[in-house]
Structure 1
Amino acid sequence: VDSRIYLLEWWMTAFSSVLSLDAASRVWDMLIVDGPSALVQATLGLFKVLSKQLLRMDFDKALYLLTHIGEAEVGADDLVTAARSFTIDYDEFFAVVEAQ
């Protein structure tokens, strides 16, 4: 699945268009505390939370889930716990972004 299909919307809205208000506000808290690298953490956390579902799906169903995350009812605590399990170095993050 081409990540541009869903990732741009996730990041441009800081997940507010795809997550519940509770889950999105927790991502916003991470964004305020950690900066833009929190978006990467939240993305990885979301994949971790949804990984079992995604691995059982065919392409069309996986794409639908990724573009309709709100229907998956991702728990805010589960998302933050999963997101925080990934360490994103702020300087390395911006080095990669600038290299693009």
Structure 2
Amino acid sequence: MIQREEEVNEAEQAIRERYIQRLNSGIGLPSEGILFVDIVSNLERISDHSVKIAKHTLGTRYPYQRLSRRFIRKTEQAYAEAVLKASSLDK
């Protein structure tokens, strides 16, 4: 998905350009294509959102979040080990 996002952007641009060329040649009415152009635009936006979700899921969009989670997990593990060790010293 991430690699193909640019293809979607290019396809949207090409579709828009062809639509404008058709209008300039007198083929079709602007009112007939408004819904079509909206659909193409929304598909491109869906593609953008999908890429953001994929990057977030893979941890490449916000790499510091991944680092933070790892840091928290290691801190929790170290704390648990310290508590366990301290409780064994009390016995």
Q: TM-score, normalised by structure 1?
A: 0.25
* Greater fraction of residues in helix: 2
User: Given the two structures, how large is their TM-score scaled by the length of structure 2?
Assistant: 0.27
